[in-house]
Amino acid sequence: MSYDIAIIGAGVVGSLIARKLSKYDIKIALIEKCNDVAMGTSKANSAIVHAGFDALPGTLKADLNVKGTKLMGYLCEELGVPFKNIGSLVIAFNEEEMETLTSLLKRGEENNVPGLKIIGQDRLHEMEPNISKRALGALWAKTASIVCPYELTLAAAECAVINGCELYRNFEVSQIDFDNEQFTVKAKTGEEINAKYVINAAGIYSDFIASLIGDESIELVARKGEYLLMDKNLGGVVNHVIFQCPTKMGKGVLVTPTVDGNILTGPSAKDIEGKDDISTTSDELNMVRTYTSYSIPNVKLNSVITSFAGIRAHSTKNDFIIEPSKVNPHFINVAGIESPGLSAAPAIAEYVEEIMLDTMGKLPKKVKWQRTRPEPVRFRELSTVERRELIEKNPAYGQIVCRCETVTEGEIIDACHSTIPALDLDGIKRRTRAGMGRCQSGFCGPKVAEIISRELKEDLLDVTKFGRKSNVVVGKTK
C-alpha cells in the first residue's frame, strides 16, 4: 500500500497527529507494533494535564505544555473523553521549599501559565483537610486538570480512522528504506507499506526508529515510574493533584484523584537498562508509600487495588525533539516526549501539522472532516430512566458483567465492534472499564473472554489478555 504519510507509533502523540492530519485530503497510515493503540507510555502515566510551570522557559516543552493544556479541555469535550479541571497544589514542608514555590511561580509566569498563586497554611488546609499538618503552603495552579490518557489516545485514533486514516496493528517496524523519493516501511513479519513522509512518534523507541534511516542523533534514557492505584472508597481524600517539590529526577511523588474516582499515587523514578520492563518492585512501591504518607499521613494504603509502571522517554537534550531529521527532511522526528508529553500532545499535533505544511507545501482540505467519534455508552453514568430505555432497546445492556465498575454486556459487545475494535481483554478494559475495579477482573475476566470469543468468532483458546502470547485459557480440562 502507498501513503502520503506513515506515522509510526499509536500513542497519544501519534494518534493526535493522525487526527490533525486527517483533515487533509491525503492518505495516512498509523502504524503500531502492539495489538491495540495506547499500549506504550500513553496508558501508564499520572494522567495530569500540567499547568506548565515545570519546564524551563524557552524550551519546546514549556511552550507546548502551556498551549496543549489550553487546548485539552475543549479537545476532550469534542472527543467525549473524561476530563476534570481540578487544579494542582505543590506543597512545601519548610522555608527552603517555600522558596522553591516562589521560583516555580516565577518560572510559570515566564511560561505564560495563567492563574498561579501561592497560598498559605490556613487556605491550604481549608482546601485539602487531609494534607499533612506540617505543610506550610502551596503553589496553586488552577489550570491543571486530570484526563483519561488511554481513552484520549483511542478517541483520537478512532477520529483519524473515521476520517480515512488506516490503522495497522501488530506491525512492528524493523526496517526503513528510502528510494525514489519514497520510504518503504517494513515490519518484522515481512509486511510492508510505502510512504512519501514518515513521522516517528514511537515513544521510547523513537531513537531506534530514527536509527533505521541512519539518524543516530536521538539519545533516550528509559526512566521507569511505578504507581499504586487505590480503590474508589478512598475517593475524596484529596480534591486536587497534590505534588511535592520537584527534584532533578522529576516532579516527585504525587497523590491525585483519577477521572474515574480512584486515588493514584506515584511515580517513582529510576533509570533502567532496556526499554520494556514495566514490572513493579516492592522497593520502589515502598518508596511511593513513604512519600505518599508525607503528603497525606492518614491515606489508607491497604486500599491499593493494583500497581503499574510506565517508562519515560528522557532525552539527553532535556527537551522535546520535534523536527525533520538532518539525514532525510522527509522523516520527521517527534522524540523525547516525556512528561509533560500528555499535556502537550494537542499542541504537539498542531506543531507537527505546521512542519508538514512547510515540508509538503499547501495541502488540500477534505470537504467533510468529522471532528469527533461516536461516544461509547457508559451505563454506570446513566440515570435510572436512561438505563431502562437503553435496556428496552437492547437487553444486553441489562446484563451486568463487571460488578465493580457496573459494565454491561452491551458495552462489551459495542467495544468488540467499535471503530477500532477491542481484540483482547485489556482492550475491553480500556474501552469499558470492565476489570478496572476492585477485583481487577477476577470475577468478570472469564465472562469477558467468552464474549470476545463469541463476538470476534475466535476460539476461546485464542483469546488473549494483550495480544502476542498472553492467552487467557491454556487448554481444556474436560
Ligand X SMILES: Cc1cc2nc3c(=O)[nH]c(=O)nc-3n(C[C@H](O)[C@H](O)[C@H](O)COP(=O)(O)OP(=O)(O)OC[C@H]3O[C@@H](n4cnc5c(N)ncnc54)[C@H](O)[C@@H]3O)c2cc1C
Catalytically active residues are 50
Residue 156 makes contact with ligand X by CB under 6 A: no
Of 14, 252, 257, 427, which one interacts with ligand X (CB under 6 A)? 14
* 28 belongs to the binding site for ligand X (CB under 6 A): no
In angstroms, rounded to a whole number, what is the distance separating the alpha carbons of residues 151 and 83? 10
**Of the candidate residues 10, 89, 138, 176, the single one contacting ligand X (CB under 6 A):** 10
Candidates 34-42, 374-382, 390-398, 414-422: pick the segment binding ligand X (CB under 6 A).
34-42
Number of residues that bind ligand X (CB under 6 A): 40
Is residue 267 part of the contact set for ligand X (CB under 6 A)? yes
Residue 41 CA to residue 82 CA, distance in Å, equals 18
Residues 292-311 that bind ligand X (CB under 6 A): 310-311
How many residues are given for the chain? 478
Q: Is 113 in the site for ligand X (CB under 6 A)?
A: no
CB of 14 to ligand X, least distance (A): 5
Q: Is 33 in the site for ligand X (CB under 6 A)?
A: yes
Residue 48 sits in the site that holds ligand X (CB under 6 A)? yes
In angstroms, what is the minimal distance from the CB of 388 to ligand X? 38
Shortest Å distance, C-beta 165 to ligand X: 15
Tell me if 32 contacts ligand X by CB under 6 A: yes
343 touches ligand X by CB under 6 A: yes
Q: Which of 13, 131, 238, 449 binds ligand X (CB under 6 A)?
A: 13
How far is Cα 271 from Cα 223, in angstroms, rounded to an integer?
4
The residue (of 50 and 373) whose beta carbon lies closer to ligand X is 50
- Which residue in 88, 244, 295, 339 binds ligand X (CB under 6 A)? 339
Binding mask 349-388 for ligand X (x = CB under 6 A): ----------------------------------------
SS3 state at 309: strand
Out of 35, 42, 295, 441, the only residue in the binding site for ligand X (CB under 6 A) is: 42
Residue from 420, 406, 412 nearest 451 by CA:
412
Instruction: Report in angstroms how near the CB of residue 328 gets to ligand X at its nearest.
Output: 18
186 strand-pairing partners: 175, 192
Q: Which listed residue (5, 6, 7, 12) binds ligand X by CB under 6 A?
A: 12
Q: How many helices (H) and strands (E) would you count in the chain?
A: 12, 22
CA distance linking residue 41 with residue 377, whole number of Å? 26
| Cα–Cα distance, 446 to 297 (Å, whole number) | 38
**Which one of residues 3, 30, 40, 253 is an interface residue with ligand X (CB under 6 A)?**
40
CA distances from 382 to 350, 386, 387, 406, 465 (A): 35, 6, 6, 11, 29
- From the CA atom positions of the chain, what is the Rg in Å? 22
Q: Is position 148 an interface residue for ligand X (rule: CB under 6 A)? A: no
Nearest to 196 by CA among 170, 222, 212, 176: 176
Q: By C-beta, is 32 or 158 nearer to ligand X?
A: 32
Binding piece for ligand X, criterion CB under 6 A, among 47-55, 124-132, 298-306, 437-445: 47-55
Question: What is the spatial distance between Cα 439 and Cα 397, in angstroms, rounded to a whole number?
Answer: 21
Smallest distance from ligand X to CB 345, Å: 7
Give the nearer residue to ligand X in terms of CB position, either 336 or 410.
336
State yes or no: residue 150 binds ligand X (CB under 6 A).
Answer: no
Degrees to nearest 5, angle at CA 134 with 128 and 138? 50
- Give every CB contact of residue 466 below 8 A, 6+ residues apart in sequence: 34, 35, 36, 39, 424, 425, 426, 427
- Kindly state whether residue 9 participates in binding ligand X, applying the rule CB under 6 A: yes
* Bridge partner list, 18: none
**Sign of the torsion formed by the C-alpha atoms of 118, 297, 236 and 286:** positive
Give the integer Cα–Cα distance in Å for 204 and 276. 9
From 5, 6, 7, 8, residue interacting with ligand X (rule: CB under 6 A): 8
Q: Which residue bears the cell 490556613?
A: 122
Nearest residue to ligand X, by Cβ distance, number only: 341
| Three-state DSSP class for residue 207 | helix
Decide: is 340 part of the binding site for ligand X (CB under 6 A).
yes
Residue among 4, 78, 97, 172 that touches ligand X (CB under 6 A): 172
- Any bridge partners for residue 147, and if so which? 83
Residues sharing a CB contact under 8 Å with residue 218, sequence separation 6 or more, in sequence order: 206, 207, 210, 211, 315, 321, 333, 335, 336
Tell me the per-residue interface mask from 191 to 230 with ligand X, x by CB under 6 A, - otherwise. ----------xxxxx---x---------------x-----
Residues that bind ligand X (CB under 6 A): 8-14, 31-34, 39-42, 45-48, 50, 172-173, 201-205, 209, 225, 267, 310-312, 337-343
